[in-house]
């Protein structure tokens, strides 16, 4: 079948909940992907940071195949050989005492919400059904009904109510507003250290530190959603490392399995995680041996290939280079590590399409922002290739 035929088939039978670029990808290797006609592209989106380790990393592939030949799923009704090793590895890497594996990012966010509510009632002494979670405007935490209910983005929410109560939104990157909103009923604050889907919004230095201090002072849990920012993306293992703080609950997903299989996890110390007792939470696929084996390899790769350190060097230099772009189209360049937003004064989609023609895959977010977030295994040469085309496309359109 041709790419065009496949595209028509998908239009005919598929729900129309996405509007992808019309490129049918069939193969990937490292930072490169190939379409059905054999054309090669540099992947500068990496599945929203799920592919930090690059496409089809040999180590991940080997782990997947080896485990798939042995055992794929036990459910948590029985134990498996991989889960304990995965839990040990992610706890040691993150410095948290306990882990809870799920599958998608949204499921892990839901898990964290349940966890902090339970803690709010049992430990903080909030009256039944009064627990509140503070969230930030412009957030993205996934697509479940509870989560879109506390989104401030109309297209995520509109027509999907009624929504779960117990969430209150405060402006992002404004520590004073957040601190003023904390009440004795506030079980937790939930936020992203950098808003990815929201347009690569980087809060001012000191923001997370101020929020963390206020949480400590008011006996409120700080929950950080690092599904997109975690695991090396911003040039540190976790984005909160830039501020020298530590959340009470950490949510990871995406690159946790290097794009090979959906795995997410919630991390916390025992005093919080022990709120869950047998039967109170679960998932048929969560913690399955296949996902755990892949994740263990994905974490090995992050550490062995020093992906966070590389990203700090390469990403920092690339952001500085982008800031020198002399284009009247560019309104702002911002980001940390290899999580970079190029905000245009005009819709970004036509420029993403032009870049795709030249073999660079980017995707717009929030209509005017080009998100530049390649796999962290990207080389300097590949970044040069991206730079060349980005600068030509963004400057050539000068009339
Ligand atoms: C992608 C993302 C999610 C949702 O993850 P899914 O696996 O798509 O459910 C949640 N939070 C953040 C910050 C994300 O970037």
Q: Is 192 in the pocket of ligand 1 (CB under 6 A)?
A: yes
The active-site residue, picked from 86, 96, 140, 318, is 140
Nearest to 252 by CA among 31, 131, 87, 130: 87
Residue 281 above 50 pLDDT?
A: yes
Pocket test for ligand 1, best of 46, 228, 266, 373 (most atoms within 8 A of CB): 228
Check whether residue 180 and residue 209 sit in a common domain. Answer: yes
CB 286 within 8 A of CB 263: no
> 20: domain CATH number?
3.90.1150.10
140 is catalytic: yes
163 is catalytic: no
**What's the whole-number mean pLDDT along residues 216-229?**
98
CB-based contacts of 159, cutoff 8 Å, min separation 6? none
Check whether residue 29 and residue 65 sit in a common domain. Answer: no
Q: 291: number of CA atoms within 13 Å, CB side? A: 23
Asked which of 281, 304, 327 is the last residue of a domain, the reply is: 304
Sheet (strand 369-372) strand order? 330-336, 339-344, 369-372, 363-365
Burial (CB count <10 Å: 0-12, 13-18, 19+), residue 373: buried
> Could you give the 3-state DSSP secondary structure of residue 32?
strand
Which two tokens mark 370? 């080009």
Q: Is 193 in the pocket of ligand 1 (CB under 6 A)?
A: no
Q: What is the pLDDT of residue 366?
A: 87
Asked which of 250, 280, 304 is the last residue of a domain, the reply is: 304
Residue 399 above 50 pLDDT?
A: no
pLDDT digits (tens, 9 = 90+) for 230-266: 999 999 999 999 999 999 999 999 999 999 999 999 9
- How many domains does the chain contain in total? 2
22 alpha carbon – ligand 1 mean position (Å):
23
Check whether residue 269 and residue 171 sit in a common domain. Answer: yes
Percent of the chain with pLDDT over 70: 99
CB 166 within 8 A of CB 109: no
Check whether residue 69 and residue 51 sit in a common domain. Answer: no
Total-model pTM: 0.98
Check whether residue 80 and residue 119 sit in a common domain. Answer: yes
pLDDT digits (tens, 9 = 90+) for 321-331: 999 999 999 99
Residue 94 above 90 pLDDT?
A: yes
Check whether residue 159 and residue 105 sit in a common domain. Answer: yes
**What's the whole-number mean pLDDT along residues 118-135?**
98
Check whether residue 202 and residue 296 sit in a common domain. Answer: yes
> 79: domain CATH number?
3.40.640.10
CA distance 135 to 292: 30
Residue 2 above 70 pLDDT?
A: yes
Check whether residue 170 and residue 279 sit in a common domain. Answer: yes
> Could you give the 3-state DSSP secondary structure of residue 386?
helix
**What's the whole-number mean pLDDT along residues 345-358?**
96
Q: Is 318 in the pocket of ligand 1 (CB under 6 A)?
A: no
CB 24 within 8 A of CB 35: yes
Taking each continuous run of H as one helix and of E as one strand, the counts in the chain are 14, 15
Percent of the chain with pLDDT over 90: 98
Instruction: Note down the domain range covering 39.
Output: 3-56+306-398
Nearest to 352 by CA among 23, 71, 87: 23
Q: What is the pLDDT of residue 396?
A: 80
Q: Is 140 in the pocket of ligand 1 (CB under 6 A)?
A: yes
Check whether residue 295 and residue 339 sit in a common domain. Answer: no
pLDDT digits (tens, 9 = 90+) for 147-203: 999 999 999 999 999 999 999 999 999 999 999 999 999 999 999 999 999 999 999
CA distance 238 to 230: 5
- pLDDT class of 88 with cuts at 50, 70, 90: very high
Atom of ligand 1 nearest to the CA of 226: 13
CA distance 87 to 72: 17
Check whether residue 170 and residue 133 sit in a common domain. Answer: yes
Alpha carbon 141 to chain centroid distance? 9
Residue 397 above 80 pLDDT?
A: no
Asked which of 275, 304, 333 is the last residue of a domain, the reply is: 304
Residue 306 above 70 pLDDT?
A: yes
225 is catalytic: yes
Average per-residue pLDDT in the chain?
A: 97
CA distance 263 to 273: 18
Check whether residue 95 and residue 239 sit in a common domain. Answer: yes
Strands (E), the chain: 25-29, 32-35, 40-43, 98-102, 132-136, 167-170, 186-191, 221-225, 249-252, 264-268, 330-336, 339-344, 360-361, 363-365, 369-372
CA distance 224 to 193: 7
Question: Which DSSP letter does residue 75 get?
Answer: -
Check whether residue 12 and residue 125 sit in a common domain. Answer: no
Residue 398 above 60 pLDDT?
A: no
């Amino acid at each position: 079948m041709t790419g065009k035929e496949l595209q028509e088939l998908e239009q005919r039978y598929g729900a129309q909940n996405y509007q992808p670029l019309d490129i049918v990808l069939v193969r990937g290797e490292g930072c490169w992907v190939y379409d059905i006609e054999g054309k090669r592209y540099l992947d500068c989106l990496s599945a929203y940071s799920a592919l930090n380790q690059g496409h089809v990393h040999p180590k991940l592939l080997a782990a997947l195949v080896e485990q798939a030949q042995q055992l794929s799923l036990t459910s948590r009704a029985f134990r498996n050989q991989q889960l304990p090793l995965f839990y040990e590895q992610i706890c040691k890497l993150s410095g948290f005492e306990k882990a809870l594996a799920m599958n998608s990012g949204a499921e892990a966010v839901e898990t964290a919400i349940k966890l902090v509510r339970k803690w709010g009632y049992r430990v903080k002494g909030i009256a039944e059904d009064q627990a509140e979670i503070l969230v930030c405007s412009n957030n993205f935490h996934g697509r479940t009904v509870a989560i879109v209910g506390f989104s401030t983005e109309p297209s995520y929410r509109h027509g999907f109510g009624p929504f779960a109560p117990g969430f209150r939104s405060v402006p992002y990157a404004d520590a004073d507003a957040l601190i003023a909103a904390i009440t004795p009923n506030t079980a937790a604050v939930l936020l992203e250290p950098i808003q990815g889907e929201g347009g690569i919004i980087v809060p001012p230095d000191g923001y997370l530190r101020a929020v963390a201090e206020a949480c400590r002072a008011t006996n409120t849990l700080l929950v950080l959603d690092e599904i997109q920012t975690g695991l090396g993306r911003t040039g540190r293992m976790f984005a909160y490392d830039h501020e020298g703080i530590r959340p009470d609950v950490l949510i990871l997903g995406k690159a946790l399995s290097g794009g090979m299989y959906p795995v997410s996890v919630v991390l916390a110390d025992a005093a919080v995680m022990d709120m869950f007792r047998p039967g109170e939470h679960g998932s048929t696929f969560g913690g399955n041996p296949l996902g755990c084996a892949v994740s263990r390899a994905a974490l090995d790769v992050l550490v062995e290939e020093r992906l966070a350190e590389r990203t700090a060097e390469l990403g920092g230099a690339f952001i500085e280079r982008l800031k020198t772009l002399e284009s009247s189209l560019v309104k702002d360049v911002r980001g940390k590590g290899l999580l970079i937003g190029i905000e245009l004064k005009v819709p970004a989609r036509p420029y993403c399409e032009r870049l795709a023609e030249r073999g660079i895959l980017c995707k717009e977010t929030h209509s005017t922002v080009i998100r530049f977030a390649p796999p962290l295994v990207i080389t300097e040469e590949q970044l040069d290739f991206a730079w060349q085309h980005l600068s030509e496309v963004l400057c050539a359109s000068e009339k």
